[in-house]
Amino acid sequence: MILITDGGSTKCDWIAIDKNGNQAVDKIRTKGLNPAIIAEKKLKKIVRKSEELMALANEVTHIFFYGAGCGTEKPRLLLKSIIETYFPNAEVEVREDTYAAVRACINTNDEAAVVCILGTGSNCSYFDGEILHQRVDSLGFILMDDASGNYFGKQLIRDYYFKKMPDTISVAFAHKHNLEADFIKYNLYKQPNPSAYLADHAEFMFINKDSTYIKNVMRKGIRLFAENMILQFKDELAKGVPVHFAGSIAYFSQEEIKEVADEFNFKVGNFVRRPIEGLVDYHVKNL
């Protein structure tokens, strides 16, 4: 049995596949396992507390974990070691989430494409058909992550406090979320996963997309992402390679992404809301 995992900062989806390529049990969901921002003790607790995962522990022979925060060696090896502890019979491969997006989005295994992630965090890479190229190392949600869930959540909270929201939007936002200053600061500075906390506020945009204010917030974030991340690969884009998008923020921002693509003259490819589904297809084909 193999386990395929799409691991974000907010949540992880685990799918078990048997030797015939069939899904063995219902999809398992745990809290996020981003080793770059979550302490080792907490990572262990999240894995250990999943009764569904522990029930499979001795049956699993291979684990393919694609995760946020796994792009540099130290956190990647930390998470690999933790997973190996709880799955003693498994060969464990941990890769950054960008590889999940690539394998879920591209149309053929050797297709060249720029692949973007817009979920809780954001990232962008170029896949040449064999090798993944990333020209800017991610510095996380405080300094980067344009157009991500945590970016938009931060912008909404800031605009609320700086009174830049229209009154009707401001009232609706305050009705949906606890916007007391002490509560916000507690979650940002004393809780273990502030990026996921911020990203939780981004859903508000998609239920208020008829607002001109909301549309402008979305376009601004997507433009920043295009300028800072996608246009790193302007030489490749000039050759006509598509730009694929993975993640829920991208999926629900398709109209705005296409508008920005027209402005910056790049070709939009596929949108994949949940990379895990494409990953299953990829690994079944390569069993």
Higher pLDDT, residue 140 or 39: 39
For 6-59, write each residue's pLDDT tens digit: 888 888 999 999 988 899 999 999 999 999 989 999 999 999 999 999 999 999
User: What's the confidence (pLDDT) of residue 154?
Assistant: 98
Does residue 287 surpass a pLDDT of 90?
no
Nearest to 214 by CA among 155, 263, 264, 174: 155
pLDDT in tens, 207-235: 999 999 999 999 999 999 999 999 999 99
d(CA 25, CA 22) in angstroms, rounded, equals 9
Distance between CA 216 and CA 194 in Å, rounded?
25
Domain boundaries, the chain: 2-100+276-285
The answer to whether the CB of 277 falls within 8 A of the CB of 101 is no
Q: For 113-122, what is each residue's pLDDT tens digit? A: 999 999 989 9
Query: Cα–Cα distance between 210 and 222 in angstroms, integer?
Result: 17
Q: Report the percentage of the chain scoring pLDDT > 70.
A: 100
Overall residue count recorded for the chain in this entry: 287
**How many other CB atoms are there within 10 angstroms of residue 148's CB atom?**
28
Question: Domain spanning 2-100+276-285: which CATH class is it, in words?
Answer: alpha beta
Amino acid at 68: A
Which residues fall within 8 angstroms of residue 135, CB to CB, at 6 or more apart? 126, 232, 233
- pLDDT-derived band at 202, boundaries 50, 70, 90: very high
Six-digit token pair at 275?
């990379």
Residue 282, both tokens: 């990829």
**Cα 137 from chain centroid?**
16
Mean pLDDT of 180-194: 95
- On average, the pLDDT of the chain sits at 94
Q: Please give the average per-residue pLDDT across 254-280, as a whole number.
A: 93
**Angstrom distance (rounded) from CA 171 to CA 186:** 22
Q: Residue 47 and residue 53: Cα distance in Å, rounded? A: 7
103 neighbors 279 (Cβ within 8 angstroms): yes
